[in-house]
Each structure stands twice: as structure tokens, then as C-alpha cells.
Amino acid sequence: MKSPMNANFIKLAEEVMARCQKLASFSEAASGTQRTFLSPPMKDCHREVSSWMQALGMNVSVDAVGNLRGFYPAAPSGALRIMLGSHLDTVPNAGAFDGILGVVLAVAVVKSLQEMKLPFGIEVIGFSEEEGVRFGVPFIGSRALVGRVDEELLGRQDANGISVRQAIQDFGLNPNQISEAALRDDLLGYIEFHIEQGPVLEHFGRPLGVVEAIVGQSRLEFTFSGQTNHAGTTPMNLRHDALATTAEWIVAVENLAKRTTGIVATVGFVEAKPGATNVIAGEARATLDIRHASDTARAVALEELIRQAESIAARRGVTAKWRTLLSQRAVAMDPFLTEQLSQAVEMSGSEPHRMASGAGHDAMIVAEKIPAAMIFLRTPGGISHHPAESVHPDDVAKALECGHHLLTQLAASQEFLGRTCRA
């Protein structure tokens, strides 16, 4: 028989899942879910989440980069705060839980306190951008918290020629106030709940995983330039085919990743010009996403893939150029918070699984300034970034119970309350 508290978490988990599905309906796509940085549906999303926050007595605001922030005050003598959250944007044709679950679950953890006040306040944040879909650069929301939104980023343009700065203004915000979004020096730490987006927890039969580190990743764009020509009249030995060059290099990327332990490498986008059936491509662009828990191993692999791009291109009479879109080091999570999360998972009746995250998350950005930790929820089938993405209701209930135990543990920890803030 489940305890009354467990029954409460199960009921709250049902509400969390229904709310995630509700937010999935706010989309800029005619069918499916797509909600990119400060697109019009983000206003609907803010309105909905704000109403949940306000019902719990939270003070709600939107900072100058579009992050939704709700603050649940501490007991009268409390002057510190902890931050919980994740992101509210999505990839195209998304599921209902990536990122969004972390925000909705954080609100529900506050609700689980049943108006009880802790010696620290709780700030729930819904980051405006993490996926990098609209402007090709991820983490715009969390970058603002650590002072990494610069003029170069503000000047980046989307496919319609709208800059980040203009998108912020169009949303009714002032980009000149972005510095005010920075983390405060009263913050003790950041906790992010997120679906795993992989098959590991399901493989081990564990509902929750404790993230010890987030792998480093590099994202690059390669441009191969050859010679456009007629597909019917140009002999094969006289071609300088940019797309064929790209294809050979893509196979080289896959082969290197398969023979290098721990490396994952993906070419997820290819574009050929002029893009006609009967024309040899004179130019082709391709992206590279490469990740590893070791920054050194990642750098060695990347150097080899650049060398192979140049070698393959030279042999085919094609030139190869590249530019870096993202270079993010591997980030260890805070040992104290990670241990506290493990204890909270055990208190919820589960055995914690310690693991690394192969995906990037806002926690890796926030960790530059304050202690950060992450908890993963099992992802059925390992499916994410797809409408079939799902979570088990019982796992959500376990995560809620874990979050509740974590807050009460931290409230009783003099080591935690005595920490010196780094922000």
C-alpha cells in the first residue's frame, strides 16, 4: 500500500504530465510542436506557466532575454535562494517533455511544499532558449545568467534575417537590460530535472539517474567548394563534386567515431548548391557535432576530422573551409549537490544510477558561476526530439518525491546554508 504522501506525488505527477501536454499545444508549426526562441507561442507558454506560479504565491517576471522566472520566498529570516528549472523552447517536431518537464516539475516541487517556507527561497526558471534552433547557437537563455550574451551573439540572424537583438525587441523586451538577468550572489545552487534522452536508465531498470558530468561538445560548419557543371556532359574523372566530397567525409566521420571509444559524432545537416537534379553541386555545407567526456579526446578527434576533410577535398580538387559554432568543455556537476541528489533518490525508494550526460544542458552553463546538479528521468525507448517522446507517470512521481526530499535535506544542512556564493 502506498503512503498518503506517495499518493499525493502520484496525483501531482498526473498534473505535471497534463501540463506538459498543454504546453506542447503552443506551437509555431501547423502540426506538431515547435517553439523556438521568443517566437509568438512563447508568450502563450509564459502566460500558462505564470498562472501556475502565481497560484502558489510566486512573484513572476520575464528577464530581458526572455527567461521566465518565478520566485517562492523563504521563511522571514531567509536571505538565500536556490534555482530550479530547465528550458521552454523545443526542436522542430518535438515531444512534450524535453526541457519543459524540468520547468513544470520544478513548479510542482514548490507545490508539494504545501505553502511551507524553507530557510532559502526557490527561484523556478524557464529558459527562453537552449536548443539552438532559430539562431544556430544554443543556450541563449542561460548564457545571459553568466554574462555571455555579447554583441556578436545579439547580431546573429535567423533564416528570415531577424537578429537576436531584434527578436528580443519584437517580444517587448529591452536587450540593453540583459546584464540585469545575471545570477545574483545570494544563489546557493541550481538543480535541473530532465528526461535522459537516451536508453541507459531503461537498460538498467532505474527510474532516476544522477548526473555526475556533462560531456564536452563541439559544433562546426564545413563548406566544401568545387565546380558546378552539367550532370550529363561532364565525365566522372573531370568532376569537382562538392556533394560527393561531403559524402565521403561523412563516412570518415562515422568511421572515426566507431573506432574511438566514447566519441559520438554526427553530421545532422547537409545542403548542396545549386540543388538541381541535373547539376553537379559546386558547393555543399555540412554540420558536425562531436562529443566526449574528455576534452582532450574530443580535441584529438576533431583535429583528425578536419585533416580528413582537407585531404578528401584536395584529392577531389575541392576546397574545404570550416567555422566553429560551439566549443563547450566537459563540465563536472557539484559533488555536494550530486551526493544530496543521490540520497534524495534513495529516500524516494529508488536506487540512484550515477552517469554522464551525452547531451548538453543549461546546467553546464550555469555551473560556470554557481554549484549545479542534474537528475535524469528514464526515457522509454530512449526516444527524444520526436513526438513519441514519453515518460512513465510513476517515474515523474519518483522525481517529485526526490525533489521534495532534496529541498528538505538542504534546508536542514548547515554545510549547504553556509556555502559562499560564487555568482
Mean pLDDT of 91-116: 97
Give residue for cell 521534495: 404
- Listed in order, strand segments (DSSP E) in 277-369 are 279-280, 283-292, 319-328, 331-332, 353-357
Residue 226 Cα to chain centre, angstroms: 36
**267-293 pLDDT per residue, tens:** 999 999 999 999 999 999 999 999 998
Instruction: Reduce the secondary structure of 378-396 to three states and give it as a string.
Output: CCHHHCCCCCCCCCCHHHH
**173-208 pLDDT per residue, tens:** 999 999 999 999 999 999 999 999 999 999 999 999
Give residue for cell 553530421: 267
pLDDT at 4 exceeding the cut of 50: no
pLDDT, position 328: 83
- Using an 8 Å Cβ cutoff, are 370 and 421 in contact? yes
Which of 402, 395, 387 minimizes the C-alpha distance to 98?
387
Q: Give, in degrees to the nearest 5, the angle at Cα 39 between 33 and 40.
A: 90
Q: The dihedral of CA 97, 128, 34, 358: what is its sign?
A: negative
Mean pLDDT of 203-224: 96
pLDDT at 121 exceeding the cut of 70: yes
pLDDT, position 77: 79
**311-336 pLDDT per residue, tens:** 999 999 999 999 999 898 999 999 99
Distances (CA, A) of 209 to 88, 199, 294, 362: 22, 12, 21, 17
Q: Which amino acid is at 395?
A: D
The CATH code that applies to domain 4-215+330-417 is 3.40.630.10
Mean pLDDT of the chain: 95
- Where residue 7 falls among pLDDT bands split at 50, 70, 90? confident
Is the pTM higher than 0.85? The answer reads no
**329-357 pLDDT per residue, tens:** 999 999 999 999 999 999 999 999 999 99
- Using an 8 Å Cβ cutoff, are 160 and 68 in contact? no
Using DSSP, state whether 357 is helix, strand or coil.
Answer: strand
The CATH code that applies to domain 217-327 is 3.30.70.360
pLDDT, position 421: 60
Mean pLDDT of 49-63: 98
Cα–Cα dist 156/351, whole Å: 45
Distances (CA, A) of 199 to 195, 209, 357: 11, 12, 12
pLDDT, position 326: 86
Region of residue 362 (left: phi > 0; alpha: psi -120 to 50; beta: else): alpha
pLDDT at 1 exceeding the cut of 50: no
Give residue for cell 510542436: 33
**292-306 pLDDT per residue, tens:** 989 999 999 999 999
User: What are the boundaries of each domain within the chain?
Assistant: 4-215+330-417, 217-327
More confident of the two residues 418 and 300: 300
